[in-house]
Amino acid sequence: MTPDIAIKQFLTMRRIDEINYSGLVDLRRVDLNLLVAFDMLMIERSVTRAAKRLSIGQSAMSSTLSRLRKLFNDPLLTREGRVLVATPLAESLAGPVRELLTGIEIVLSQREAFDPTTAERTFSVIANDYLTMTFLQPLIARLSVEAPGIRLNIFPTGDDFADQLRGHRADLLVMPREAFEEHEQFPHRVLFRDRYLVAVDKNHPEVGDEITLEQFTSLPYLAASSGHLRGLSEMQLDFLGVPRNVEITAGFGMAPFLLSGTRLITLVHERLGRRIGEAAGIRLLEPPIPQLQPITEIMAWTNRTDRDPGHRWFRQCLLRLAEEEPTSRP
């Protein structure tokens, strides 16, 4: 739905007593700030959280909800146990109102160009430890010189990452496309691809310049995970039917640092392995599993920020950074 259609839907959706001679709602009698509050209430489904997001008191948000109920002549949110549940009308309005606000933001954002050398702005990004260390850290260093007023808030990838992005609690999500089944629902771009390598202690007593499939399946294995979620490498190995002698499970950002002085082996992303290999005291080897596929890292955002000049500049920064390493280009 385009913003202009959403606006027309809103203007024609409610209350006979607010109709003017043109047949549309008389906007002079409607506080359009109520729509901002409605949008936040539909995102959070909580008066307390919505009030916090809008930086107002809970009592003020409760009063705003009462005004919204009067405006739409509908309860909008009703309590069921300990949660607020949207009414059918509220659910039907959520999309058009969101599109309406997005259209307004797009119009306002085009008033002026974005100058990164003077701008003061904070971008929030959802990314795991691996991406923060290998991709965002160089960006942070660059921003300190080229755009000193730009700040980053980096949040870990939780189970609700899609809802975090959809609810505009983050500006950008960077993660493997293979782990983001809903990515087609968002604007997105491929950043880079990264293959898996085998990591072993640099003085591993049993592994030379190559590792055989027999060694891979029999040596003590460190399985990488993302929080309590299994890593994509482990899922691939299971799908391919490759057995492992799993002795330890750890986060994939920490996994390479646990190999030194042990017989353990693990799979690491090439970018991470090459960046921290010397510090971690490890060697990198080609995996003896030719069917092992690389991951494709993407960035995703929402229509709300798609045409924002500052956001577009920030996305271009990430694309340029991704293209600078020849081995990782899409």
Is the distance from CB of 292 to CB of 269 less than 8 angstroms? no
For residue range 161-187, list pLDDT tens digits in order: 888 888 888 999 999 999 898 899 899
Q: Are 22 and 15 in contact (CB under 8 A)?
A: no
User: What pLDDT is attached to residue 204?
Assistant: 95
pLDDT at 15: 42
Q: How confident is the model at residue 20 (pLDDT cuts 50, 70, 90)?
A: very low
Biggest distance spanned by C-alpha atoms of the chain: 87
40: tokens are: 């936040």
Residues 6+ away with beta carbon under 8 Å from 255 = 199, 222, 224, 266, 268
| 196-201 vs 282-285, strand pairing mode | antiparallel
Q: Residues 323-328: what's their mean pLDDT? A: 62
pLDDT number for residue 2 = 47
Query: How far is it, in rounded angstroms, from Cα 273 to Cα 285?
Result: 10
214: pLDDT confidence band, cut at 50, 70 and 90? very high
Categorize the per-residue pLDDT at 25 as very low, low, confident or very high, splitting at 50, 70 and 90.
low
310 has a pLDDT exceeding 60: yes
> In whole angstroms, what is the distance from residue 64 CA to residue 129 CA?
40
- pLDDT cut 90: percent of the chain above it: 42
Nearest-angstrom CA–CA distance, 267 and 61: 50
Bridge partners of residue 284, in order along the sequence: 199
Residue 322: its H or E element: helix 309-323
Tokens in use for 65?
A: 């909800």
**pLDDT for residue 128:** 87
Cα separation, 53 vs 45, in Å, equals: 12
The pLDDT of residue 199 is above 80? yes
Q: Which residue, 306, 326, 252, is CA-closest to 106?
A: 306
pLDDT tens string 236-282 = 999 999 999 999 998 878 889 999 999 999 999 999 999 899 999 99
- pLDDT bin (cut points 50, 70, 90) of residue 218 is very high
pLDDT of residue 195: 94
Encoding tokens for residue 14?
A: 């409610």
Between CA 67 and CA 176 the distance in angstroms is: 43
In angstroms, the CA 38 to CA 204 distance is 60
pLDDT band at 17 (very low <50, low <70, confident <90, very high): very low
What percent of the chain is modeled with pLDDT above 70?
Answer: 86
Q: Which domains does the chain have, with CATH numbers?
A: 3-109 (1.10.10.10), 121-193+295-328 (3.40.190.10), 196-285 (3.40.190.10)
Q: How do residues 104-117 score in pLDDT, each as one tens digit? A: 776 666 556 788 99
pLDDT for the residue 208: 93
Q: Which one has a higher pLDDT value, 54 or 244?
A: 244
Q: What is the per-residue burial (b if ≥16 Cβ within 10 Å, else e) of 36-62?
A: ebbbbbbbbebbebbbebbeeeeeebe
Question: What residue type is assigned to position 176 of the chain?
Answer: P
Please name which of 26, 317, 289 lies closest in space to residue 144, comparing C-alpha atoms.
317
pLDDT per residue as tens digits for the range 136-148: 988 998 998 999 9
Average pLDDT, the chain: 84
- Mean pLDDT on 18-44: 70
Sign of CA dihedral 110, 115, 120, 121: positive
Cα–Cα distance, 272 to 277 (Å, whole number): 8
